[in-house]
Every structure is written in C-alpha cells, then in structure tokens.
Amino acid sequence: MFLHGWLSNRAKLSMKLLLLNLLIPSFMFSLELTYTSKSYGEHSLYIEASTLIKNKNYKKSLETLSLCKSYSKCQLLLGYIYNNGFSIKKNNQKAIYFFKLALEAGEEEANFNLATVYIEEKKYKKALLLLNSIEYKDGKTYYNLGLMYLYGYGVIKNSTKAHKFLKKSSELGYIPSSAVLNYVEKNLF
C-alpha cells in the first residue's frame, strides 16, 4: 500500500509536470496569437482606411482610424488627414501630435511628414533638423532640402547646396524636382 501510494504521488507529480510543460507553451502560443491577431486587426483597419482615403471617403476613413489610433501606421494616416483637412477642418496641431506618435513608434515616414508641417508653419529650423535626421532620404526629402537652401528657409541661401539636393532628388525619380532643377541650372549657374 505504501509503495502504491508513493508511486501514485510520484505519478501525479510527473503528470502535473508534464501538463505544466504542455500548458505553458500553449499559453504562450495563445498570448502570441492574441497579440498577433490584435496587430493583424489594426493592420487590417489601416489597409481599409488607406483604401477609403484613396477613394476620397475621408469621413469613413476617420471612423475606421479611430479604431486603431494606437497603431503607428494609423497614426500616420490620421496626421495626413488632419494636415490636409480632408472632410474636417485642417488642424496642424493634431497632425503634429499624430506624426510625433508615429515617429516615436519608429515610423520613418513620420519624420518627413512632421517636417512638412513645420515648413508650412514656417518653423524652418525644426523642419531642417528633421529632414537632416532622416537616415534613408528619398526624392521628397532631398527636394524639400533643396527648396530650403534655394529660398533660404531656416538656412542661408545657398544655390550650390540647393542644386546638389535637387539633383539628387531628380536622380531618385522625384518628378517635381526636375522642373526646379532646370530653373536652378538655367538661372543660377
């Protein structure tokens, strides 16, 4: 009886350990699935809102984006809508708020968007800092830097630097820079 009781206690302990080993990974997997499905849900809302914006259904896109305000890509779109005043009153302060949130979450594009708002508000030094801090500059970034040097926005006018940035922008395929680059080459060099 004693041996039988000891074996069954030991067997019970083994069973508990076995169950615990089986349950912990499934619990972790379940947490992972919950997190992933939450992320997937937010990303799905972002895709839906993007499509609504492309179709110029801004009111519906705002409703959709209000469901995923904590997702960085949704924050970018909210900033975009507020910055452009699509179906709402243009509000650069809200645009700045959402772009900063997205930037804090690691969205590189928010850097450029925030700089664009600062340029609109004539806060050129802030814009210049942001544009210069963008690690992988694209045509739009070089274009804005070129314009800032061309017109002296927050910097001393410098047609050589303007030309350099506009040329780089044009090489990267940003179409608006070509016309400005042609003007600079014809009139300033």
Q: How do residues 119-130 score in pLDDT, each as one tens digit?
A: 999 999 999 999
Q: Please state the rounded mean pLDDT for residues 135-147.
A: 92
pLDDT, tens digit, for every residue of 150-179?
999 999 999 999 999 999 999 999 999 999
Calpha distance 87→126 (Å, rounded): 28
Calpha distance 65→12 (Å, rounded): 52
Residue-averaged pLDDT of the chain? 83
Spatial CA neighbour of 98 closest among 119, 87, 84: 84
Q: Is 184 helix (H, G, I), strand (E, B) or coil?
A: helix
Calpha distance 4→72 (Å, rounded): 61
Q: What is the pLDDT of residue 29?
A: 37
Mean pLDDT is lowest, of 70-74, 108-112, 161-165, 167-171, for 108-112
Contact 116, 130 (CB under 8 A): no
Q: What is the pLDDT of residue 87?
A: 85
Calpha distance 92→81 (Å, rounded): 10
Q: pLDDT band at 38, cuts 50/70/90?
A: low
